[in-house]
Amino acid sequence: MKKIFKYLLYLIVLITLVLFIVGKINNTSFKEGNLKHTASWQGQFIDIGKERIRYIQKGEGGQDVLLIHGTPGSIEDWQPIIDSLSTTHRVTAFDRPGNGFSTANNYNYTIKENVIIVNQLIDKLMLDSVVVVGHSYGGSIAARMATTKNDKVKSYVIVASPLYNLKAGGLYKLITAPLIGKGMSVLISKTVASKKIEEGLLARFEGNTKTLTDDFLTSRKQLWSQPKVLYATSKEHINYDNDLKEISDNYKNINAKVSIVYGTNDFQQILTDSKKLHNDLSTSEIFALENTAHFVQFEKPKALMEIIKNHSSPKIESNNKHTIIKEKFFFLKNEIDLPIKKKVYLSTENEVILFRPTEFNFGKMVEDNQSDKLVTLDGNFEVLTNRVTNSFKNSENVKITISEKEMIAITSEVDTLYLNTSKHIYGIIINKPPNKPIFLKSNHTAKEISNTINKIFNNE
C-alpha cells in the first residue's frame, strides 16, 4: 500500500513537472497568441499601454458607439450589427487583452484593468460623446465604467451581463492552478477545447443552429481555443465574483443613462441581475427580449440597434441655411470676456440659437478646461427645434442655429449674455439687434415658446 502511494506521489509530481514545463515552453503564446492575423481576419492594431490591441472602426459620421465583447470574445461577436449601425454612427469594436488577436503582455485579468484599457482606447482614438455597449463580461465592464465619471462617455447599454455575482466553475480553477495552469491550457487547447466550445455555444444559443452557423462555430473554435484565450477566460472568471461585488457597491454613484438588455431565455443569473440593477438604478431602462438567449446581437440585432440608436441625439430637421456648431466651448472664469480668443458665440443678426441642456447653474462658469457632461435630451427639445426651424424655413431675415455642444455665453454687438441653464432647461437665445440678446426659458410647451419667438420677430 505504501508503495502505491509512493508511486502515485511520483506520478503526481511528474505530471505537475511536465505541465509546468509545457506552460513555460509555450509562454510566448500566452502573451501573443498562436493564431496568425491574416487578410481573412478584419481589423488593425493600436498600442495601448503594453498591449497591442486589434480594433475595427466603421462609419465616418454620427455619434461614437464603442462595442465591448464578453469572455471569451472578439470583434467578430459584433458582426451582425456593425455594418448597419455604421451607416448612422461611427462604430468601434476591439479585442480585449488576451482575446482574439490582442496581446496579454501585462494583463491582470480584472474588470478594473479593462476599464483602464477602454478609457485609454477612447482617448487614443479620439472618441467623444460615446455610447458604450457591452455584452456579457463586456457589459460588466460598462457597468464599472458607469460608476466613474468619464466626460467622453454619454451613456451605456448593458447586454446579457452578470452584475452582482458569478461563481467560477471547476475547469476555470484547474486552468488557473499554480504551476500547472498554463500547461493545462495548452493540453486542453490541443484536445477537448473545440468540443467544449461547441457545447458551450449550443447552450448559449439554446440549440438554435439557424443562428449558430458552421462558419460561426469554426471561427470561434479558431479564436477561443488558443491557450492565451483559454487562460484569459479562466482568470477573468476566477476574478469575476470579487470584481462584481466591488462594482455593485458603487452602482449608487451612476448618474448616466443606462439601458439594460437581456433575453428571456438566458441563464437565470442574467435575468435576476438585470432586474435587480434596474430596480436599484433610477437612471436605467430595461428591455426583456422574448425568445432570446445569451447572444442578443445575433438573435435580435434589429432590436438591439434600435435601443442603441435611442441613445443618440434626436434627429433634427434642418436645411442648408441652418448652422450646426460642432466645436466644444471651454472657458476660464477670468477669460469669459475674451470672445476672440475663446470663441464665445457671436451673433450679429436676427437669430434664434437652440442648444442642448447642460448642467450649468445660473452664473456658474467653468473653472478649468473641462466641461460638465451633457445630459440626455428630452423629446420636447426635438419637437421645439423642428417647430422653430419650420416656422422660419422660408424666412430670409431670421437665422436658426442649432448647437450640438455646450455653451455658457453668447455675445452680440450690444451685450454678452451669460446663459442661465440647468439640466432641466433648454438653451434658447433670441438675438434681434439692436436689442440685447434674450435667454428664453423652456418651461412652457414647444408651441408656446415657438409662438413667443414668432411674436418677437413680428411673425417673420
Q: Which of 98-102, 208-212, 259-263, 290-294 has the lowest mean pLDDT?
A: 208-212
- Of the candidates 70, 80, 57, 45, the one whose C-alpha atom is nearest the C-alpha of residue 229 is 70
Is residue 351 very low, low, confident or very high in pLDDT (cuts 50, 70, 90)?
Answer: confident
pLDDT at 290 over 90: yes
**What's the rounded mean pLDDT across residues 14-19?**
76
For the entire predicted model, the pTM comes to 0.70
Q: Which of 89-98, 202-211, 361-370, 430-439 has the lowest mean pLDDT?
A: 361-370
**What's the rounded mean pLDDT across residues 71-81?**
96
Work out the mean pLDDT of the chain and round it to a whole number: 79
Query: 131: Cβ–Cβ under 8 A, 6 or more apart, which residues?
Result: 63, 64, 65, 66, 89, 154, 155, 156, 157, 308, 311, 312
Using CA atoms, how far apart are residues 451 and 460, in angstroms rounded to an integer? Answer: 11
**pLDDT confidence of residue 403:** 62
pLDDT at 319 over 70: no
- Extract the C-alpha cell encoding 359: 448642467
Written as one string, the DSSP assignment of 194-260 is HHHHHHHHHHHTTT-TTTS-HHHHHHHHHHHTSHHHHHHHHHHHHHHHHHHHHHHTTGGG--SEEEE
**What's the rounded mean pLDDT across residues 278-307?**
93
Domain spans of the chain, in order of start = 2-309, 323-456
pLDDT at 441 over 50: yes
Is residue 350 very low, low, confident or very high in pLDDT (cuts 50, 70, 90)?
Answer: confident
CB contact at 8 A, 101 and 95: yes
**pLDDT confidence of residue 427:** 64
How wide is the angle at C-alpha 457 spanned by C-alphas 454 and 458, nearest 5°? Answer: 80
**What's the rounded mean pLDDT across residues 428-450?**
71
**Over the stretch 144-156, which tens digit does the pLDDT of each residue have?**
999 998 889 999 9
Highest mean pLDDT among 139-148, 188-197, 309-318: 139-148
Count, in order, helices (H) and strands (E) of the chain: 16, 16
**Over the stretch 168-209, which tens digit does the pLDDT of each residue have?**
988 899 999 988 888 888 899 999 999 999 999 988 888 677
Higher per-residue confidence, 323 vs 371: 323
**What's the rounded mean pLDDT across residues 117-143?**
95
Q: Given CATH 3.40.30, say whether it is the number of domain 323-456.
A: yes
pLDDT at 333 over 60: no
**What's the rounded mean pLDDT across residues 43-56?**
96
**pLDDT confidence of residue 117:** 97
Question: Which stretches of 35-136 are DSSP H helices?
Answer: 79-85, 111-124
**pLDDT confidence of residue 363:** 28
Q: State the burial class of residue 460 (Cβ atoms within 10 Å of its Cβ: 0-12, 13-18, 19+).
A: middle
Is residue 8 very low, low, confident or very high in pLDDT (cuts 50, 70, 90)?
Answer: confident
Using CA atoms, how far apart are residues 269 and 148, in angstroms rounded to an integer? Answer: 25
**Over the stretch 400-426, which tens digit does the pLDDT of each residue have?**
776 654 455 666 666 666 554 444 345
**pLDDT confidence of residue 446:** 65
Written as one string, the DSSP assignment of 389-454 is HHHTTT-SS-EEEEESS--SEEE-SS-EEE----TTS-EEEEE-TTSPPEE----S-HHHHHHHHH
How wide is the angle at C-alpha 405 spanned by C-alphas 403 and 410, nearest 5°? Answer: 65
Which superfamily, per CATH, for 2-309?
A: Alpha/Beta hydrolase fold, catalytic domain (3.40.50.1820)
Q: What is the CA radius of gyration of the chain?
A: 27
